[in-house]
Chains A and B, each alone.
Chain A
């Protein structure tokens, strides 16, 4: 089963915006709007930040936004803050084989 592809790391200065990409295939991101994004701090369980490509769960800051184009989904963090430093994983429903898949993970660093 192949994971969704994410960059290993992305960094930015406080207040800046950064974007994390997540590339899949037509069996997942390309054909379905069921992309989610999770944030994970060290030693903690993952936290859902975005679901259904663009929706935010209650309590998640509107500095986090999601989008999709073709087989690639993206997570944008605006007004970067120190607390945003964490690992971020995309995920998606997949129509065949492994029925759900995570991305490879991206470490976000705040400079």
Chain B
């Protein structure tokens, strides 16, 4: 059974950094692309970033490009999101999601974690 468990969220001041983690199990992690998707309170879904199975293809939403960095450790079955220069508008529930394939074209699958909440506030 596929399991995705996010961690690392919390309350952080504007301008500070935070690293999110996603622990994956129940599938061959290094066969699949992975993604981060966020949802601000009362708002819609926003794709944040994605990484191919071998980290050869990486993409970011315009809103986070230059501030966030996605990475993965296939040996540890883990996905990460390094978030720098955090802003109040980055406040959201951050989901980790598995892709249906290993690379382009990306298509998120039915497997999502339950999310980790990031709150950016002074």
- Cβ-based interface call for B100 (8 A): yes
A40 to B50, CA, bound (A): 21
Q: Could you tell me which A residues sit within 8 Å of B by CB distance?
A: 1, 3, 32, 34, 36, 38, 40, 45-48, 51-52, 57, 87, 89, 91, 93, 97-105
- Cβ-based interface call for B45 (8 A): yes
Contacting residues, chain A, for B35 (C-beta < 8 A): 100
A-B residue pair count with CB separations less than 8 angstroms: 67
Least Cβ–Cβ distance between B26 and chain A, in angstroms: 15
Interface residue tally of chain B, by bracket?
Answer: 20 to 34
Contacting residues, chain B, for A47 (C-beta < 8 A): 110
One of B46, B59, B95, B109 near A99 (C-beta < 8 A): B59
Q: Mark B79-118, 1 if CB is under 8 A from A, else 0.
A: 0000000000000000100001000111111101111000
Least Cβ–Cβ distance between B16 and chain A, in angstroms: 25
Q: Mark B24-61, 1 if CB is under 8 A from A, else 0.
A: 00000000000101000000111100100000000111
Q: A-B pairs with the 3 shortest C-beta distances?
A: A48-B110, A99-B59, A93-B105
Contacting residues, chain B, for A97 (C-beta < 8 A): 62
By beta carbon, the residue of chain A nearest B61 is A98
Contacting residues, chain A, for B114 (C-beta < 8 A): 45
- Cβ-based interface call for B13 (8 A): no
Least Cβ–Cβ distance between B46 and chain A, in angstroms: 7
By beta carbon, the residue of chain A nearest B60 is A98
- Cβ-based interface call for B121 (8 A): no
**What are 28 A-B residue pairs whose CB atoms fall within 8 Å in the complex?**
A34-B105, A34-B106, A38-B45, A40-B45, A45-B95, A45-B113, A45-B114, A46-B95, A46-B112, A48-B108, A48-B109, A48-B110, A52-B107, A91-B45, A91-B108, A93-B106, A97-B62, A98-B47, A98-B59, A98-B60, A98-B62, A99-B104, A99-B106, A100-B47, A101-B47, A102-B44, A102-B46, A105-B45
